[in-house]
Amino acid sequence: MKKAVVLFSGGLDSTTVLAMAKSQGFEPFPLTVAYGQRHQVEIDAARKSAAALKVSEPKVVFVNLTSIGGSALTDDIEVPKDRDESAMTDIPPTYVPARNTILLSLALGYAEVLGADDIFCGVNAVDYSGYPDCRPEFIEAFERLANVATKRAVEGSTLTLHAPLLHMTKRQVIEAGLRLGVDYSLTHSCYDPDGEGRPCGHCDSCLIRQRAFAELGMQDPLARSPSI
């Protein structure tokens, strides 16, 4: 089996991607990054989902992005709630400066140590809340960078950066995951969970997720009531 590093937050998207990588015959090595995000509960979700999918336990790497701040996820900035869908094309305060560049760089280093030539990530250019580092241009640029940045690349190995969800709607992501047996009750998506780790039901991530389940005639398994 070919080894593949999978950036794995424990969220809906990355859990689907982990299942996809496994279904494609890769041996997945999940990489979870604790960067000081307020939704730390996602790290526990990552461990549970990895166990359910019967892959190796995620390697957890710690990077303190709170020292930089600049985001509602890493700084004392309010997470926007109940935004109108039309407003979700703007870059919101939950954008973490350079996050995907940092996370993919860590994945690249881990892949080189493992001797892996494949990295999977869950970026999405459709239901992505306006983040600039979830666009196809970013993925293409990082893959080019990866293939000149490491000893392994210089010695002739070619790294492939897989972003299988890039052009999928959230509904399509959920449909794909359900076909692969993903248990979405184990995942976590909320940007601003309560003290018990329960989703707020009102941030962009919760709203996008709930809408997708509703389109499938389902209720989000994490919803606390039909109205959330």
For residue 184, is it within any domain? yes
- Would you say residue 221 lies in a domain? no
CA distances from 77 to 93, 105, 116, 146, 208 (A): 8, 26, 38, 33, 21
| CATH code for position 173 | 3.40.50.620
For residue 80, the SS3 value is coil
According to DSSP, the β-strands at 160-162 and 59-62 are unpaired
Q: pLDDT for 21-71, tens place per residue?
A: 999 999 999 999 999 887 678 889 999 999 999 999 999 999 999 999 999
Per-position b or e across 152-173, b if 16+ CB within 10 A of its CB: bbeeeeebebbbbbbebbbbbb
* Average pLDDT score, the chain: 92
Domain count along the chain:
1
- pLDDT band with cut points at 50, 70 and 90 for residue 130: confident
Does residue 222 lie in a domain region? no
Residue 223 domain flag: no
Q: pTM of the full predicted structure?
A: 0.93
By C-alpha distance, which of 50, 68, 42 is closest to 191? Answer: 42
Specify the 3-state DSSP secondary structure of 27: strand
Helix (H, G, I), strand (E, B) or coil at 60: strand
132-176 pLDDT, tens digit each: 999 999 999 999 999 999 999 999 999 999 999 999 999 999 999
Residue 228 lies in a domain: no
Q: What is the pLDDT of residues 198-225, one digit of tens each?
A: 999 999 999 999 999 999 999 999 986 4
Residue 203 neighbours by CB under 8 Å, 6+ apart: 79, 80, 81, 94, 190, 191, 192
Confidence band for 119, pLDDT divided at 50, 70 and 90: very high
Residue-level pLDDT at 125: 86
Residue 104's domain comprises 2-215
pLDDT band at 128 (very low <50, low <70, confident <90, very high): low
Going by C-alpha positions, the residue among 18, 16, 12 that lies closest to residue 31 is 18
Residue 220 lies in a domain: no
Q: Report residue 225 CA to chain centroid gap.
A: 25
- Structure confidence at residue 88 as a pLDDT band (50, 70, 90): low
Residue 224 lies in a domain: no
